[in-house]
Structure 1
Amino acid sequence: MARSSSGIPLTPSGCRSASFTISRLLRFCFIFTTLFSTVSAQRKQPLVVVDPFKDPKNDVLNPLRYIPSNVLTAIAVSLILIVALLQTLWIFKWGAKWMMAMTIGAYCFALGIGFRFGLHSNPHSDGIYIAEYLFVTLSPCAFIAADYVLLGRLARHLDADKHLLISSRRLTAVFITSDVVTFLTQAAGGGITTSRNNLNNQRIGPKIFLAGLAAQLASFAAFSAVFAVFLYRIYTKEKPLLRIDGHKAWYSRWTALAGALVLSCIGILIRSCFRTAELSQGFGGALARSEGLFYGLDTLPLFIATAIYIPFWPGRFIDDHQPLRSPGIENTVTGNRRGSSDSVSRTMVELGQVGQKPTVEKV
C-alpha cells in the first residue's frame, strides 16, 4: 500500500483516519487543559484582596482585562451548538463522516466559549482562563482539517485531480500532517506559558504559541492558494465541467459546495490573521483586551466557516462510491474522451442491449 512521507496511507480509508486525528487531539486538549486548570487553581492567592469588578481594565489579575458579557457568551454558545447539532444530524442523514472532525471541533469550540460564563463571575481564575483560551484557540484546527479533506474529496468526485498542484491523496496527507504539527506546537506553547513559577517559561511559551499560529496561517494560506488554482484551472481549461450537473438546482450543484468551501476558507483566514496579530502583541496586548474584536474577528468568522456547510453539507454532493463522472467512458457533457476506444465501444454495445440508442460524437 502506498504511503505518504508522513506514513499516512494514501487510500480513502487512510484519509478518513487522518481526518479523525484532530478529533483525538482535541480529546487530549481537554485532558491537558483540565490538568493545568487544576494546578493553577491550587496556587496561592495574593494576600491583597482586589475587587475584580471595580476596574477590570487596569486589573493585572484579570487576564482578559474586561468582564465577559454573559449575553454575548450565551448567543455565541447557542449558535455554535446549533451548528454542531445540525452537522451531527446531517452526518446521519447525508453521510460524509470524514467531516466529523469539524463537528467535534464545533462542540469543543462551544465549550471553550462557555468557560466565559465562569470568567464573568470569577475573572481572576487562571484555571478557567487557561481552559477557555486553549479550547477557543485550538478547536479551529479541526475546522481546518475538515476543509483539507473536503478539497481532496471534491477533486476525486469530479475526477479532476489533474487540476490540483499535487494529487488529492497527497494533498490531504501533507496538510493534515501540517495541521497536527501546528496543533501540537500551539498546545506546547500554551502549556509552557501556564508555568507561572518560571519566568523564563512565560517568555518562551508565548513565542512557541505564536510560532504555531503563524505556521498554521502559512499552511492554510498555501492550501487556499492550491484551491484557488484548482478552480482557476477548471474555469480556464475545462469550463464545461462547471456545467456537468447543470440540470440540477443551483444549490445542488458541485459549484455551490465549492462556493461554501471558499467562504469557509475566508472565515478561517480572517480568524488566523487576527489571532496571529493578537499574540504578536502578547497576551495582554490591545487586541486581546477587546471583547468586540474577539467576537467580530474570531468567533463570527469561525461561525460562518462552519455554518456555511449546514445548507451545503458535503454529503449531499459527494458520493464516494459514485463519482460525478467515471473514467473509462465517453463524457458527453464535457466532450472529453476518457479511456481507450475499446472501453468506449463496449459501453456503446451495453447501451444498445438495453434498447438505448448510443450517441456517437463526431471528432
Structure 2
Amino acid sequence: MASRTTSSLLSQALLLLFAFSSLAVARQIPANASDINPFTDPKDDPFNPLGYITSNGLTAMAVAITLAIALPQTWFTWRIGGRFMLAMVIAEYTYTLGIAFRFGLHTNPDSNAFYILYYLFVTLSPCGFIAAEYVLLGRMARWLGANNHVLIPPRRITLVFVCSDVATFLTQAAGGSISASAHTNPSKAQAGSRVFLVGLVLQLVSFAIFMCVYTRFIYRVRKYQPEVWTRDRGMKWYKDWRALASAMWLSCVGILIRSVYRTIELSEGFDGFLTRTEVYFFALDFVPLVLALVCYIPFWPGRFIPANAALPEASPRQPSTDGTLPDKTPDLREKEDEKV
C-alpha cells in the first residue's frame, strides 16, 4: 500500500511539472501600462501577481521551520519505520521549495515564472499531506483490529480517498491549464479560476468527509472496544496509542483550516484581498500546515504501528447482536497461542 501511495505521489509530481508548463496567472495586464518601479507601489503594480513585496525574513523563517520538520521525519522513516507516511515527507520538501521561491519574488516581484513555481508547489504539495492522513487511518484500524468501526474497509479507504485526492488535483491542474491561454480573454481567465476553485472545493468536501469517518472511528472504538481503548493505559502518555490518535485529529484540523482558507481565497479571484495580503498566507496557510506536520514529530506513526500491521485483517471481527465486538476471534487467539 505504501508503494501505491508513493506511485500516486509521483504521478502528482509529473502532473505538477505539466501544470507548470501551462499554468499562467489569471489576471489582465493593461496593454498601455506605464513603466513603474515595482518596489515603490507594488499594490498598484499591474505586473505584480501578489500585490506586495515578499518578506525575506518571513520566508527564511518559514523555510527553516519546514526543514526542521521534514528532516527529523526523514530520519524517523529511515531508522524507525513508517514508510506509509512517505507521501507526507516528500510533500514537505516540495512545500519548502515552493516557499523558497518567495526569495525570488522579493528581488523580482514582477516575475511570472517565480510566481507560478511558488503558487503551484505551495498550493498542490498539501495533497501529499492529505494522502498520508488517508493511509494512516487504514493502518491504524488494522493495527487495532477495529476494522468494523470504519465506514469503508481499511484496505480500500486509502484507495477511495487517495483517488479523490488525485481527482481534485487534476481538476485544479485543468483550471490552471484553462487560465494559461487567458492573457487576452477575461471570460476564459475567469472560467479557469472557477475550475480551479471547483477542485479546491471538492478537496475540502472530501477531506471533511474523511474527518467525519475518522471521528466516528475513534468514537466507536472507545464505546464498543474499551479493552482496545485502554490497552496502553499503564504506559507513559507519549507511548499511548491514543496520543497518536489525538495527534492525527489535530493534524487533520490544521489541514482543514488551510483548505477552507484556500477555498475562500480563490473564491475572491487571483486579485482578491486574501491573495494580496501577505500576513494571511502565513497565518492561514503556513501556520495550520505546520501544526498539521509538527504533530508527527513526537508521535511518529512508525513508532506506534509495526510494519506487519495489516496481518490482523485476515481475521476480521464481526459485530455481535448488541453492537459490541468479541474480544478476539478464534483465528487470532490461535495465532497468539502459537507465538507463546
TM-score (norm 1): 0.83
Partner in structure 1 of residue 129 of structure 2 = 143
Task: State whether structure 2 residue 338 is matched by structure 1 residue 338.
Answer: no
Which ranges of structure 2 fall in alignment gaps of 5 or more residues? 316-323
Aligned pairs for 1:121-140 within 5 A: 121-140=107-126
Compared with structure 1, are the counterparts of its residues 108 and 335 closer, same or farther at alpha carbon in structure 2 (3 Å cutoff)?
A: closer
Contact 1:327 1:338 in 2 (8 A): no
Partner in structure 2 of residue 50 of structure 1 = 36
> Which SS does the other structure have where 1:289 is aligned?
coil
> In structure 2, what residue type is equivalent to 1:179?
D
Task: State whether structure 2 residue 64 is matched by structure 1 residue 96.
Answer: no
Partner in structure 2 of residue 7 of structure 1 = none
CA–CA separation in structure 1 for the residues paired with 2:176 and 2:78: 35
Contact 1:67 1:120 in 2 (8 A): yes
Partner in structure 2 of residue 250 of structure 1 = 237
Measured against aligned partners, the alpha-carbon deviations of 1:180-211 in whole angstroms (never above 9, x if no partner) come to 00011111212322324351431111001000
Partner in structure 2 of residue 271 of structure 1 = 258
Contact 2:24 2:176 in 1 (8 A): no
Match of 1:187 among 173, 187, 191: 173
Contact 2:179 2:192 in 1 (8 A): yes
Partner in structure 2 of residue 66 of structure 1 = 52
CA–CA separation in structure 2 for the residues paired with 1:346 and 1:188: 50
CA–CA separation in structure 2 for the residues paired with 1:346 and 1:143: 35
- Give 4+ residue runs of structure 1 displaced > 6 Å after superposition: 37-40, 323-328, 345-350
Match of 2:283 among 267, 275, 296: 296
Compared with structure 1, are the counterparts of its residues 161 and 59 closer, same or farther at alpha carbon in structure 2 (3 Å cutoff)?
A: same
CA–CA separation in structure 1 for the residues paired with 2:337 and 2:103: 66
Number of residue pairs matched? 329
Contact 1:267 1:304 in 2 (8 A): yes
Task: State whether structure 2 residue 151 is matched by structure 1 residue 165.
Answer: yes
> Which SS does the other structure have where 1:48 is aligned?
coil
Compared with structure 1, are the counterparts of its residues 219 and 52 closer, same or farther at alpha carbon in structure 2 (3 Å cutoff)?
A: same
Measured against aligned partners, the alpha-carbon deviations of 1:33-92 in whole angstroms (never above 9, x if no partner) come to 2x348999xx9x977321111111222221111111000000001111121111111110
Contact 2:69 2:294 in 1 (8 A): yes
> In structure 2, what residue type is equivalent to 1:201?
K
Compared with structure 1, are the counterparts of its residues 238 and 216 closer, same or farther at alpha carbon in structure 2 (3 Å cutoff)?
A: same
Match of 1:110 among 96, 117, 122: 96
| Deviation of the 1:252 alpha carbon | 1.2
CA–CA separation in structure 1 for the residues paired with 2:278 and 2:334: 66
Sequence identity of aligned pairs in percent?
46
CA–CA separation in structure 2 for the residues paired with 1:185 and 1:177: 12
Contact 1:134 1:190 in 2 (8 A): no
Partner in structure 1 of residue 212 of structure 2 = 225
| Deviation of the 1:338 alpha carbon | 2.1
CA–CA separation in structure 2 for the residues paired with 1:192 and 1:140: 22
Bigger CA radius of gyration = 1
> In structure 2, what residue type is equivalent to 1:145?
A
Contact 1:274 1:297 in 2 (8 A): yes
Partner in structure 2 of residue 77 of structure 1 = 63
Please tell me the root mean square deviation across aligned C-alpha atoms, in Å: 2.8
Aligned pairs for 1:300-319 within 5 A: 300-319=287-306
Contact 1:88 1:103 in 2 (8 A): yes
Match of 1:210 among 186, 197, 200: 197
CA–CA separation in structure 1 for the residues paired with 2:138 and 2:303: 16
Partner in structure 1 of residue 318 of structure 2 = none
Contact 2:24 2:180 in 1 (8 A): no
| Deviation of the 1:327 alpha carbon | 7.9
| Deviation of the 1:326 alpha carbon | 8.9
Task: State whether structure 2 residue 11 is matched by structure 1 residue 21.
Answer: no
Partner in structure 1 of residue 225 of structure 2 = 238
Compared with structure 1, are the counterparts of its residues 105 and 345 closer, same or farther at alpha carbon in structure 2 (3 Å cutoff)?
A: closer
Contact 1:26 1:108 in 2 (8 A): no
Partner in structure 1 of residue 247 of structure 2 = 260
Measured against aligned partners, the alpha-carbon deviations of 1:200-256 in whole angstroms (never above 9, x if no partner) come to 431111001000000000000000000000011112222221111223211112111
CA–CA separation in structure 2 for the residues paired with 1:204 and 1:70: 34
> Which SS does the other structure have where 1:53 is aligned?
coil
Compared with structure 1, are the counterparts of its residues 169 and 208 closer, same or farther at alpha carbon in structure 2 (3 Å cutoff)?
A: same
| Deviation of the 1:346 alpha carbon | 9.1
> In structure 2, what residue type is equivalent to 1:307?
V
Contact 2:175 2:194 in 1 (8 A): yes
| Deviation of the 1:26 alpha carbon | 2.1
CA–CA separation in structure 2 for the residues paired with 1:319 and 1:297: 34
CA–CA separation in structure 2 for the residues paired with 1:228 and 1:170: 18
TM-score (norm 2): 0.88
| Deviation of the 1:20 alpha carbon | 3.5
Contact 2:169 2:199 in 1 (8 A): yes
> In structure 2, what residue type is equivalent to 1:310?
I
